[in-house]
Amino acid sequence: MSVEYKELTLNGLWKNNPAIVQLLGLCPLLAVTASVVNALSLGIASILVLIGSNFAVSLFRSFIPKAVRLPIYVMIIAALVTSIELAMQALTYELYLILGIFIPLIVTNCIIMGRAEAFAAKNSVAASLYDGFIMGLGFTIVLVLLGAIREILGAGTLFADMHLLFGEIANNWKIVIFDDYVGFLFAILPPGAFVGLGLLIALKNLIDQSNANRKAHMQVINITELEPLPSGNNSKPLDLT
């Protein structure tokens, strides 16, 4: 099956973004995006699982019986999630404690199962790897944007506690947006996550509508700029005799 990588990129990042178009993976998206570091950590884990599951499913797609394909996909995804969970316990234990149950819940993320079933099972390994990466990247971008909005409004900071993910090199990455900020509790509570996600969806829809209106306007201009038809009638009358 021929794959257009430009179309895959547009779908993953914008037209068919798993978070703000398909509305998949909302449970972790809304639960852990109280800060950028939490959102980025979950996003990286999701990207790794998407890439790994797409690779395995595409590589062995000819050997997987259709009758049991879904349980096999779940086993592949669960094995990858368990590996990432153990790695986080060893390398970023404090962050693992913060994210808690939402790392194991990646197994049930509809984005991963959906890409395995809809794409990786039908396409080449190279295309499936790219699809897993770009879909995970689109999901991660929304996670980070939502995390940044909620962190700024809720705590008045940005990139706080990034050392939990990147180590001592990130000790000075914290940016204080508002000095002596008392905080906006609503932003870091679950209702704030719903409102923030709704605003991101509304912004995307507004941009799409604006682009559609501009294209329609350009089409009208192109039509009006066409050379007009001759006004005269040079055809000869019919001879009926």
Question: Would you say residue 46 lies in a domain?
Answer: yes
Question: Would you say residue 237 lies in a domain?
Answer: no
Type of residue at 163? H
Question: Would you say residue 221 lies in a domain?
Answer: no
What rounded mean pLDDT belongs to the chain?
90
Work out how many domains the chain is built from and give that number.
1
Residue 1 banded pLDDT, cuts 50, 70, 90: very low
In this structure, what token pair is assigned to residue 70? 């879904």
Question: Would you say residue 227 lies in a domain?
Answer: no
Q: CA 180, CA 189: separation in Å to the nearest integer?
A: 21
Query: Quick one: residue 123, left, alpha or beta (phi over 0 = left, psi -120 to 50 = alpha)?
Result: beta
Question: Would you say residue 225 lies in a domain?
Answer: no
Q: CA 132, CA 129: separation in Å to the nearest integer?
A: 5
Radius of gyration of the chain (CA): 25
Question: Would you say residue 71 lies in a domain?
Answer: yes
Question: Would you say residue 229 lies in a domain?
Answer: no
Q: How far is CA 73 from CA 45, 51, 112, 199, in A?
A: 17, 13, 9, 34
The tens digit of pLDDT for each residue in 10-52 reads: 999 999 999 999 999 898 889 899 999 999 999 999 999 999 9
Question: Would you say residue 77 lies in a domain?
Answer: yes
Instruction: Compute the average pLDDT of residues 197-208.
Output: 96
Enumerate helices (H) and strands (E) in the chain, giving the number of each. 10, 2
Q: Which domain holds residue 129?
A: 5-203
